[in-house]
Amino acid sequence: MEILAKYKSKPVPEKYIQRKIVVWLREQGYHVDVITKGMYGANGIADIICCIKGLYVAFEVKRPGAKPTELQSRWLDSVNKSGGKAFIVHSLEEVKGLLNG
> Which domains are present in the chain?
2-100 (3.40.1350.10)
What's the pLDDT score for residue 65? Answer: 87
d(CA 44, CA 1): 32
The lowest-confidence range among 4-18, 35-49, 57-71, 78-92 is: 4-18
The lowest-confidence range among 23-32, 40-49, 61-70 is: 40-49
pTM of the model: 0.85
What's the pLDDT score for residue 1? Answer: 45
What's the pLDDT score for residue 84? Answer: 97
